[in-house]
Structure 1
Amino acid sequence: MTSRAQWLGILCGLLTALIWGVQSVVSRHAMLIDLTPADVTILRFVSAAAVLLPWSLRHMRPFPVGSLGWPRAWVMALLIGPLYSLILVGGASFAPALHSSIISPGLIPVFTALLIFLVTGERAGRMRLIGLGIIVLGIGIFSRDALAMAPSRPDAWIGDLLFVLIAFLWSIFGLLARRWGASSLEITAASCILSVPLLVIVALALPIHMARVPFSELVLQALYQGVLVGVVALYLYARSVATLGAAKATLFLPLVPVATAAASALLLAETPSPTELVGMAIVVSGMLIAFRSPSTG
């Protein structure tokens, strides 16, 4: 690998971590300006589907499910479509932005290892288990204020539980995506396009406040949640994996909570408590150990 290609892979990994890290801040901002989870969900999937539609029409046969096929594509849409977004953004109504980027990314490898063991009996390697144990310990410390319903975090425990559910859904999605072997772009395009008709149910069943906020705020959510997170970050992460390899690409994931902490302090004036800082440091350390260790052993 040339030095130039390696640096391109590193840049793609860093940009991916930045985009994913700031997503929690953008979602939290949406809740603070009186947008609803339904608003953000509709904006996210309409914009992502619009961007992905030309590629899907050209490359996916049958449209819009491609090699996944209809049953599997609908499973993916149900796992990471509107329901996923409603839970994720709904959590931002209760908990600060940093909670999302600590709890969900931290627990995804934990749930994944647990599901693999339950389904296949395959055990994670010793060092990975140590890393996963450190992650769980760190999340317990990080969430102490929320679970104790401290005055500074009165309803954060609700958001934290929703972020735990997000990690579980994403773990199932990740295992199915690997088992079914479709490309990440195909999975994203199919799930986004199939999510569009489901948005009708979302709009009819849940409150919509789009008319209450400036148009520029709607554009921000559509571009960031739909285009940057839904399309650009996926492409950048895929390029990082292709250039550096999957193992090295995952090493950028611990940077996600760091990016969230910096962005939430600068843009939302949300600062973590001392307990949350300690828990965050432990979680990031556990993620580094888990991602650098063999998956089995």
Structure 2
Amino acid sequence: MNQAVPPPQLAAATRLAVPAGRTPWLGIACGLTTSLIWGIQAVVSRQSVADGLTAADVTILRFVTAALLLLPFALRRMRPFPIGRIGWRRALVLTALAGAPYSLVLIAGASFAPALHSATITPGLIPVFTAILAYALAGERPGRMRLAGLALVLAGVGVFSWQALSSQSLGHAPAHDSAWIGDLLFVLTAMMWTVFGLLAKRWGADAIDVTIATCLLSLLFLPVVTLALPIRLDEVAWGALALQAFYQGALVGVGALFLYTQTVALLGAARATLFLPLNPAITALTGAVLLGEWPSTAEIIGMLLVITGMTVALRSRSVA
């Protein structure tokens, strides 16, 4: 799974047996580790830009690595290979929404905006877009507390937008003058992931099957990516290539999936989503320490609003 943000909708589709005698502490440890991996992902994506890698480079490294790691499981699990019970049409649609195209947009956004913007805007807007589409397509009305939480999320994203568009920049370096472009791309990734999650839920797709299928089918996009977009893999140090391959492909693409599904199994889908608001805080801390991207006052306020809104929305009832 990608993926910067796990869709809560997929959690309900994941079925793992809960090991006997395990305490909730193991589930909490898995949830915290998952949030740590996803929170640092935005920083690693941002580092790829500093290392001279393009969005195409990172996408190639991510999916080649993940596909190689998942291939043995796919050969045993997926019948027919590589789509399993999902079917070709649905698997291709889900791959277009959450596979290589999603990664290209997400990494492209990281080339314009600081890591904190990615970790806040995308996961913050996913529950907002989910509520809008659920109401438009199924008439599902969110409860008052959820509406309040979503309003806080929008207020926080609005602060980020003002930060990015304001000519006063509040202490940002000139390199961040184009952050609004990255923010728009993060809005697009939130929409893509929302549609992906809703379709996966509607089709009853298993989370592990979806992850394997999207990673393997993303390989079909890579020749087009190579021909259409700039590639600098041969110009970048081996250490930078290894970092992206290991983190994006192995840790995010495989490790975080396993840990998240274990969190769902041990704590339940609802509790597993409660770890998501930690992602922006982790990104803010690691981005400041590792990249020197210290958030401005406006960004801190926006982040806190989004974290509070996500927490309220995820803990509230779905329907009024």
Matched with 2:299 is 276
Aligned counterparts of 1:293 and 1:147: Cα–Cα separation in 2? 32
Matched with 1:131 is 149
Equivalent of 2:39 in 10, 13, 21:
21
Q: How does 1:175-190 map to 2 (within 5 A)?
A: 175-190=198-213
Aligned counterparts of 1:5 and 1:195: Cα–Cα separation in 2? 37
Gapped regions of structure 2 (runs ≥ 5):
1-17
Matched with 2:224 is 201
Matched with 2:5 is none
Query: Counterpart of 1:266 in structure 2: which amino acid?
Result: V
Query: Counterpart of 2:251 in structure 1: which amino acid?
Result: L
Identity of aligned residues (%): 58
* Aligned-partner SS, 1:143: helix
Between 138-147 and 87-96, report the one with greater CA deviation: 138-147
Do the aligned partners of 1:149 and 1:156 also contact (CA within 8 Å) in 2? no
Taking a change above 3 Å as real, the CA distance of residues 149 and 68 of structure 1, as seen in their structure-2 partners, is: farther
Matched with 2:243 is 220
Equivalent of 1:245 in 252, 268, 271:
268
Equivalent of 1:38 in 41, 50, 56:
56
Gapped regions of structure 1 (runs ≥ 5):
none
Aligned counterparts of 1:176 and 1:15: Cα–Cα separation in 2? 27
Q: How does 1:152-191 map to 2 (within 5 A)?
A: 152=172, 153-191=176-214
* Aligned-partner SS, 2:274: helix
Matched with 2:84 is 66
Deviation string for 1:88-134 (max 9, x for gaps)? 00000000000000000000000001011111111111110110011
Matched with 1:111 is 129
Runs (4 or more) in structure 1 with deviation over 6 Å come to: none
Aligned counterparts of 1:140 and 1:248: Cα–Cα separation in 2? 28
Between 264-273 and 136-145, report the one with greater CA deviation: 136-145
Equivalent of 1:80 in 75, 92, 98:
98
Taking a change above 3 Å as real, the CA distance of residues 266 and 71 of structure 1, as seen in their structure-2 partners, is: same
Aligned counterparts of 2:191 and 2:165: Cα–Cα separation in 1? 19
Number of equivalent positions: 297
Instruction: Verify: 1:291 aligned to 2:314, yes or no.
Output: yes
TM-score (norm 2): 0.91
Aligned counterparts of 1:88 and 1:96: Cα–Cα separation in 2? 12
Query: Counterpart of 1:132 in structure 2: which amino acid?
Result: L
TM-score (norm 1): 0.98
Aligned alpha-carbon RMSD (Å) = 1.2
Aligned counterparts of 2:220 and 2:138: Cα–Cα separation in 1? 35
